[in-house]
């Protein structure tokens, strides 16, 4: 493609300001270039928490947003992932100590299905029964948090560190802990997707019942 063709192609495109959801005060996340508005929908953008909060201590947390709607010159997003950086996670691990992890799928009160992956770091090496008990606390606390929170409130509880603190408070009674973090949260399904899955499951069950009756 000639330089003239490239230049003309860029002239036909326009920049869209990518904005965070209202939960994050509609802050600008960046810009994206496209010829048509519909080309922007579905794109993702990742930033660090410190870019949104101004807290320099939050540069080890990455947030990912997905564009769901486009206005005249703005692209609107939804939150889809929270994740700690690998470097930060590696810095938490100590030789001769235990690293207890869990992966938990829960449904919030407004029917968002999310996967939550907390991690607890002990001061010294815990035995298997203690690690199992700490994992049980993590699972119970995550389920309890989801049962009383909307998706937005659940995300806030992780970003603010409230869920990590709740896990720490109970799990430290089992074995001394150095730190508890939520290393990752991923949005797996939205309410309409969850409802569609449930409807499909009901249809399958009904078909199986009909087959059994025919037999």
The residue written with tokens 């920049």 in the block is 15
pLDDT at 9 over 60: no
The pTM (predicted TM-score) of the whole model is 0.87
Rg (CA), the chain: 22
- Rounded distance, CA 12 to CA 31, Å? 16
Among residues 168, 186, 181, which one has the least CA distance to residue 58? 181
Q: For the chain, what is the largest distance between any 2 Cα atoms, rounded to a whole number of angstroms?
A: 71
Binning pLDDT at 50, 70 and 90, where does residue 19 land? very high
Average pLDDT on 118-131 reads 98
pLDDT at 54 over 90: no
For 38, residues 6+ apart whose C-beta sits below 8 A from its C-beta are: 70
pLDDT at 6: 46
pLDDT at 64: 98
Mean pLDDT, rounded, of the chain? 91
Do 164 and 182 contact (CB within 8 A), yes or no?
Answer: yes
pLDDT at 202 over 90: no
């Amino acid at each position: 493609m000639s330089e003239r063709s490239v230049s003309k192609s860029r002239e036909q495109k326009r920049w869209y300001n990518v904005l965070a959801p209202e939960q994050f005060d509609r802050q600008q996340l960046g810009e994206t270039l496209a010829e048509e508005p519909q080309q922007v929908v579905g794109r993702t953008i990742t930033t660090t928490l410190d870019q949104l909060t101004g807290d320099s201590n939050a540069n080890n947390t990455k947030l990912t947003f997905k564009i769901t709607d486009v206005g005249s010159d703005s692209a609107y997003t939804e939150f889809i992932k929270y994740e700690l950086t690998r470097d930060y996670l590696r810095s938490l691990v100590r030789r001769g100590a235990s690293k207890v992890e869990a992966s938990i799928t829960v449904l919030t009160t407004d029917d968002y299905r999310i996967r939550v992956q907390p991690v607890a770091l002990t001061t010294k090496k815990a035995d298997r029964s203690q690690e199992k008990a700490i994992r049980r606390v993590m699972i119970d606390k995550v389920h309890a948090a989801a049962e009383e929170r909307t998706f937005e409130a659940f995300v806030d509880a992780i970003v603010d560190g409230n869920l990590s603190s709740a896990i720490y408070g109970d799990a430290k009674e089992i074995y001394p802990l150095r730190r508890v973090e939520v290393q990752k949260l991923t949005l797996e399904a939205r309410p309409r997707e969850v409802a569609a899955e449930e409807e499909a499951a009901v249809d399958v069950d009904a078909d199986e019942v009909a087959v059994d009756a025919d037999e």
